[in-house]
Amino acid sequence: MSHYETIVRELLYQLADDNFIHSYRGSEWLGLAPHIEEDVAFSSISQDTMGHASIYYQLLEKLLEVPVDEISHNRKPEEFRNAILLEEVNGPGDYLNSPKYDWAFTVVRHLFFNIFKDIRLQSLNQSSYEPLVHAARKIQTEQYYHLMHWKTWFYQLMSSTEEARSRMEQAIYRVWRDFGGVLTLGKYGGEMSDLKLIAPEAQLKEEWLNQIQQLFSEVDFTIKDDPGMEKGNGRNGEHTSDLVDALNVLSEVYISDEEAVGW
């Protein structure tokens, strides 16, 4: 594999793994969303997002000549490149045992990530790796609606009751503490931009911050510090037990029966 292909692989892992684990956390809200219309809408968004992960994993399959199910379901946690924030559980308990999930955290995490995802897709439209250009354009047809959905929730809750506003502000601070892990391209980030696979990390971050500050100005909220990375850098293989637990669930069927089809 050439050096160029090695760096492409690293970027594809980030793109695929972000969407893979983010979709899973979204899917855990099935039957638990605030109302039935949201349950249907959120399920559709999570399904789309898993489809986006599949698109990137299929590009990896062609590049590595390794089955897509093997790539998505049979890697060790330290081989995953998703941001740590995206693997974090929705709240105490689990889906089958007293789930006490945080809707404010979910809204903020999904909105902030989707704003960055949109910026990243726009950059991939100019990628030197042609398959990524086609993938980005395909995904963008759905991304607009996802972003609009989470913006609607954000505006409504930030302008609702005093309790709703308070919970949303707490969620913003919580997400902010680790969102730097989403914005980074990891240790190969410089090479990714040098090879024109994606825009430089600093440029992506600046555009995200500009859009977030505009969002904040519309709801009379301010935050001064840069987003942090308190729990580590998932782009470099650093993860938490939340990812380990999620992968155990996601890979359970594949590991028990490798003839099962995952996609």
Task: Round to whole Å and give the CA distance between 102 and 91.
Answer: 6
225, two tokens: 């510090």
Q: Is residue 55 part of a domain?
A: yes
Encoded tokens for 83: 């941001």
Residue 263 maps to a domain: no
**In this structure, is residue 105 part of a structural domain?**
yes
pLDDT in tens, the chain (263 residues): 899 999 999 999 999 999 999 999 999 999 999 999 999 999 999 999 999 999 999 999 999 999 999 999 999 999 999 999 999 999 999 888 889 999 999 999 999 999 999 999 999 999 999 999 999 999 999 999 999 999 999 999 999 999 999 999 999 999 999 999 999 999 999 999 999 999 999 999 999 999 999 999 999 999 989 999 999 999 999 999 999 999 999 988 777 666 655 55
Q: Is residue 166 part of a domain?
A: yes
Q: In whole angstroms, what is the distance from residue 205 CA to residue 177 CA?
A: 15
Residue 209 lies in a domain: yes
Residue 89 lies in a domain: yes
pLDDT score for 97? 87
Q: Give the Cα separation of 177 and 7 in Å (integer).
A: 28
Nearest of 130, 146, 129 to residue 52 by alpha carbon = 146
CA pair distance 58, 2, nearest whole angstrom = 19
Full residue range of the structural domain in which residue 226 is found: 3-256
Residue that the structure tokens 């609009």 belong to: 148
* Number of domains the chain is built from: 1
Report if residue 154 sits inside a domain.
yes
**DSSP single-letter state for residue 227:** P
Position 252 scores a pLDDT of 83
pLDDT at 257: 62
Query: For residue 243, what is the domain's CATH number?
Result: 1.20.1260.10
* CA 171, chain centre distance (Å): 17
CA trace torsion 90, 211, 187, 64 (10° rounding) = 70
Place of tokens 């909220």: 221
| Alpha carbons 124 and 198: distance in angstroms, whole number | 6
Report residue 172 as tokens: 């913003």
User: Within a domain: residue 261?
Assistant: no
The pLDDT of residue 95 is 86
